[in-house]
Each structure stands twice: as structure tokens, then as C-alpha cells.
Amino acid sequence: MRLANKVAMVVGAGQSPGETLGNGRATALLFAREGAKVLAVDRDIAAAEQTTALIRQVGGEAEAFEADVVSEEALRLALADCIGRWGRLDVLHNNVGISVAGGDATPTEITEEAFDRIMAVNLRGIVLACKHALPVMRKQRCGSIVNISSLAAIDNYPWVTYKASKAAVIAYTKQIAIQNAEYGIRANAILPGLMDTPMAVDTRARAWNRTRAEIAAERDAKVPLRNKQGTAWDVAHAALFLASDEAGFITGVALPVDGGASCRIG
């Protein structure tokens, strides 16, 4: 019960269609299992409700809330709902990100529309969620923010907008970490590597008209540790640690969860 008596808002708690578990859903489930009351926020309310149903099946407490991160008002209302229900916010977990599905492309092929859309989801959504969470946490004099970046931020990655946005998430996380340390608020980022999730594998299979098995095998071969992608649970356990009091003296870090892939860099 590492999050006992805590309230967590997980933005991106649903998931896209696929055979495996998504990072946001796994994190919401794990937070609840560890004692947190969870507001599962997603633009797809049906997906968020599926997450809350899974939490309730094992006796956890959770509510679903529909919000698209491109809308500041929707995020403000999500925060208001969380505070109205439970009176506080201990953990804000931002698990949002699109790339291929948003039309991402190489630096010479990216379109203005795709760039703006992906940046709005991947970066602006996190900034605006934190904008409304920080005053609550400052008043409490405590709180933990965990933002999902990506190994793509520091690795060789082919598509321009995902890389740029996820690199910006790291810089932004460090900014809010140092500027809110005096309030007892911690902010950290996770950099997932190659993960076997619906967004990473199934979305590519659909976009490229290939089989899921082909995409997964190619990704597995690139991972140093056991030549196997990570799972959503690997990201969720990292998020749980950073959200918990066990990480009470850790802020401003960018934690790779990548099976050793970042060891190739530098």
C-alpha cells in the first residue's frame, strides 16, 4: 500500500485498441492496487471507464473523467472533479503522447498541421495539466508529478515532432521541479524505450499495413536486455516508485526504462 490515503489523477488512463496493456492503464491499475484513489482521465471515456471497471473489480476506488488534453478547460474541469471528490491531489501522472497516429514525419516531410497537433498533445497537454495542479499542490505543501517522456528524446529517432516534444517534456519537468521544490513538490520524468504497448506496436501495424508480430519482432531485436521489449508494467512500476514517498528525495530526474538501450548513447 505504497500510495495509501493518496489521490492520483492519471491523464491518459485509457488506451488505444490492441492486444497488450497500455502504459496509462497499467499505471492507473497499479496506483489503485497500492492504495490510491484514482481519477482516470482520457479523451475516450469508454476506455477510461474500462480502466476504472478493472480497478473496481479488485476492490479499488476510481472514477472516470472525459477530457482531451488539447483543451485547457477540459483539464481544469478534470482537476476540479478530482478535488471535488476527494479534496486533494497527491499525484499527477501525465501519460500522453502521439506520433505516427498524428502524422509525424521526418524533418523534411513534416507538415505544419501534424507538428502543431502532436505538440499540442505531447507537450502543451502536460504543461496545462500541471498549470492547474500546481496551485493545489502548493497549497498542500506536497505532491508528486510524473511525466512520461520517451527515450526518443535522447536517442536517434526518425520522426521530428515526437522527438522534439518529448525532449521538451524533460526540460519542462526539470523547470517545475526546481521552481516548486520549496513547496515540497517533486517532478520527475520517465523515458520509456521500446515497449510492447498498443500505441507503440498495434498503431504502427495498422498504419503500415503490417502484422503485429512483424512489428513486435523488429522492436524486440533492438533491445539489449534479453532482446525483448518492455511492458506497460515496467513503466507503471517506475511511475509508482517516483510517485511514492520512497522517492521523497528525488526530483528533476529523467529515468530511462529501456532495457539498456540508452547505454549505447554517448
Q: Is residue 224 part of a domain?
A: no
Beta pairing partners, 63 = 39
Q: What one-character DSSP code corresponds to residue 247?
A: G
Q: Is residue 219 part of a domain?
A: no
For every residue of 184-221, DSSP letters joined together read: TEEEEEEEE-SB--IIIIIHHHHHHT--HHHHHHHHHT
Q: Is residue 259 part of a domain?
A: no
Note the pLDDT tens digit of each residue in 181-229.
999 999 999 999 999 999 889 988 988 899 999 999 999 999 999 999 9
Looking at the annotation, which residues are catalytic? 162
Q: Is residue 98 part of a domain?
A: yes
Which CATH number goes with the domain that contains 11?
3.40.50.720
Q: Is residue 210 part of a domain?
A: no
pTM reported for the whole predicted model: 0.96
Q: Is residue 97 part of a domain?
A: yes
Q: Is residue 249 part of a domain?
A: yes
In the chain, how many domains are there? 1
Per residue of the chain (266 residues), give pLDDT as tens.
999 999 999 999 999 888 899 999 999 999 999 999 999 999 999 999 999 999 999 999 999 999 999 999 999 999 999 999 999 999 999 999 999 889 999 999 999 999 999 999 999 999 999 999 999 999 999 999 999 999 999 999 999 999 999 999 999 999 999 999 999 999 999 999 999 999 889 988 988 899 999 999 999 999 999 999 999 999 999 999 999 999 999 999 999 999 999 999 86
Cα dihedral sign for 69, 70, 74, 75? Answer: positive
Cα 146 from Cα 255, distance rounded (Å): 10
- To 10 degrees, what angle do helices 160-180 and 125-140 make? 10
Question: What is the grid cell recorded at 80?
Answer: 476540479
CA-nearest of 170, 163, 86 to 126 is 170
Beta pairing partners, 40 = 10, 64
Q: Print the domain residue range for 118.
A: 7-197+233-254
E strand or H helix at 47, and its extent?
Answer: helix 45-57
Cα 216 from Cα 221, distance rounded (Å): 9
User: Is the distance from CB of 15 to CB of 95 less than 8 angstroms?
Assistant: no
Q: What's the pLDDT at 266?
A: 65
Question: What is the grid cell recorded at 192?
Answer: 520509456
Q: Is residue 14 part of a domain?
A: yes
For every residue of 126-178, DSSP letters joined together read: HHHHHHHHHHHHHHHT-EEEEEE--GGGTS--S-HHHHHHHHHHHHHHHHHHH
